[in-house]
Amino acid sequence: MGKCEMVVPLCINVVLSVVGFGVVLRAIPALSSMFIDAGLFGRDLCKADRTKKVPESMGMVSGTVFLVMMFLFLGVPFGQHFITSSKPFPHAAFSEYLTSLLSICCMLFLGFADDVLNLKWRYKLVLPTLASLPLLMVYYINQGSTTVVVPRLLRAWMGGTLNIGVLYYIYMSMLAVFCTNAINIYAGINGLESGQAVVVGASVAVFNMIELGGFQAKSHFFSLCVIIPFTITSLGLFIHNRYPAKAFVGDTFTYFAGMTFAVVAIIGHFSKTVLLFFIPQIFNFLYSVPQLFHFVPCPRHRLPQYNKKLDKLEPSVVEFRDTSVQWQVMAALRLLKYLRLVHLEEGVGEDGKLCRVNNLTLVNLVLVLIGPQHEGSLTTKLLVIQGLCSGLALFIRYPLADLFF
C-alpha cells in the first residue's frame, strides 16, 4: 500500500470523525429527556443530591454516530476500486471490514439489552464470545496467522515461531470477553468509563501510526480507520460524562468500547500488544478477583463513598463475619494489608467479630493510598495513570521486547 493510498483516506476519516464529534456533542443534550422518559436514567451515587435523574445508556448515541461515520467512510477505501479498476477488488479486506462492524454493532445492541434488562453475570461472559464468532470465522477464511513468536531464550527448543492453532482462536474470543468486562468493572465515577476508552483509543492510534511504516502496514491502516472515529466520538461522550456528569455511558458503551478494541486488535494482528494498553484494567480485574468470584462478599455497587462534609470521595467498604470466609482468603487479605494494598480492619462491629475491607477496585485502592479526593480530580488522576501506563506499554513493546524477541 502506497503512502498516498493511506494518507488521503485517513484525512477523510479524521474529517468524518470530527463531524461525528460535533453530532455527539449536540445530540446528547438534545436526546437526554427522551432517554429519561423511556426510563433510561440512573442516580449519581457519588453526589449529595441523589434525586437527580441522569440519562443512562448514552453510549447508544456515540455508538450510533460512530457506526454511521463508518458506513459513510466505507466508500473511501473500497469505492476507488470502482473508479480505477486496475487492481482486483479486495474482497478479503472488505469482508473483514464489514464483519468488524457487525461484531461491534452486535455488542452495542447486547450492551443496550443489558442496560434495559440487567442481565446476569453469566450472560455478560457468553454474549461477547458469541458476538466475536463472525469475526473469527472471517479471520479463519482469510487465513489469519495463528503463530506466535517464541522468546529468544526458548528458541533452541521450540524454534523461532510456534503455531498454536485453535488455542489462538480461543484466546481471541476470550480477548473480547476480557476487554468488554474489564472496562465495565473499572467504573463508577464520573468520566472514568468514557475517559479510559479515549486514552486507550488514542494510545492504540499512536501504536498503529508507528506501525504504518512496518511490514503489517495494511492491518494497522485498517485499525486506524476504526479507532480514530471511535476515539473522537467517545471524546464527545466524555465531555458530557465527565464531572459533574450530565450523562451516563451505560453498559451499552462499555461493551461497545471493549468490543471495538478487541476487533481492531484481532483484524490488525496485534491481539497480544493490545493488552499492554489495558494495564490498569488488568490490575483492577486481578484485584477484584476475590469479590468477582465471591470469596469476599460483592455488593451491587463498589464505587467509592461520598463524604458530604468534605465533598470528597472515600474508599467504600464491605463488612463480613470472619468465620464466613475461608482462612486462605483471610490470609491473602492480611498479606495485601502488609503490602499496603488494602485497608483491612478486623474485630470490628458490636460483637467484635466483623471484618471490614475496602471494596477491591483500583479506584478505591487509589483512595486508600492517597486519601480522600474530589470526584473530578480523582478521575483526572486515574486517566493520567492510564496515560502513563500507555507510555510504559510502548516502552515494553519496543525497547524491552526487542531484548527478548
184 forms part of the interface with ligand UD1 (CB under 6 A): yes
245 binds ligand UD1 (CB under 6 A): yes
How far is 234 from 25, CA to CA, in rounded Å?
A: 10
Using CB under 5 A as the binding rule, whether residue 115 contacts Mg ion is answered as: no
Residue 100 binds Mg ion (CB under 5 A): no
Considering the complex, state which of residue 271 and residue 361 has its C-beta at the smaller distance from Mg ion. Answer: 361
Q: How far apart are CA 353 and CA 356, in angstroms?
A: 10
138 binds ligand UD1 (CB under 6 A): no
Burial grade of 50 (CB within 10 A; 0-12, 13-18, 19 or more): exposed
Interface with ligand UD1, residue 188, by CB under 6 A: yes
218 is written with which cell numbers?
A: 495494511
Is residue 60 close enough to count as binding ligand UD1 by CB under 6 A?
A: no
Pick the binder of ligand UD1 from 265, 303, 367, 389 (CB under 6 A): 303
Give 44 or 251: the residue with its C-beta nearer to Mg ion: 251
Which of 254/358 has CB closer to Mg ion? 254
Q: Count of CB atoms within 10 A of residue 39's CB? A: 9
Q: Give CA–CA dist 7/18, Å, rounded.
A: 17
Q: Which does 22 bind (CB under 5 to 8 A by kind): Mg ion, ligand UD1, none?
A: none
Nearest to 360 by CA among 293, 287, 264: 287
**Residues whose CB falls within 8 Å of the CB of residue 246, separated by 6 or more in sequence, listed in order:** 28, 29, 32, 54, 55, 240
Round to whole Å and give the CA distance between 262 and 178: 9
- Using rule CB under 6 A, residue 301 touches ligand UD1: yes
CB of 224 to ligand UD1, least distance (A): 29
**Least distance from C-beta 7 to Mg ion, angstroms?**
38
Q: How far is the CB of 320 from ligand UD1 (least distance, A)?
A: 17
Residues numbered 149 to 208 that lie near Mg ion (CB under 5 A) are: 184
- Whole-number minimum distance, CB 158 to ligand UD1, in Å? 38
Of the pair 96, 251, the CB lying nearest ligand UD1 is at: 251
d(CA 226, CA 90): 18
- Binding residue for ligand UD1, selected from 99, 190, 208, 273, defined by CB under 6 A: 190
Buried b (16+ CB within 10 A) or exposed e, 79-101: eeeeeeeeeeeeeebeebbebbb
H or E segment to which residue 253 belongs: helix 250-267
Which position among 10, 28, 32, 44 is part of the footprint of ligand UD1 (CB under 6 A)? Answer: 44
Per CB under 6 A, does 302 bind ligand UD1?
yes
Contact yes or no for 199/386 (Cβ under 8 A): yes
State the binding partner of 211 from ligand UD1, Mg ion, none, CB within 5 to 8 A by kind.
none
Stretch that binds ligand UD1, among 31-39, 204-212, 245-253, 349-357 (CB under 6 A): 245-253
Q: Compute the CA torsion angle 8, 13, 14, 16 (nearest 10 deg).
A: 130
Which position among 251, 255, 275, 302 is part of the footprint of Mg ion (CB under 5 A)? 251
Q: In whole angstroms, how close is the CB of 366 to ligand UD1 at the nearest point?
A: 15
- Other CB atoms within 10 A of residue 78 CB: 17
**Should residue 321 be labelled a site residue for ligand UD1 when binding is judged by CB under 6 A?**
no
**Residues 226, 230, 231, 234: what is their CA dihedral angle, to the nearest 10 degrees?**
180
The answer to the question of residue 108 lying near ligand UD1 (CB under 6 A) is: no
Q: Site residues (CB under 6 A) for ligand UD1? A: 42-46, 56, 184-185, 187-190, 245, 248, 251, 301-303
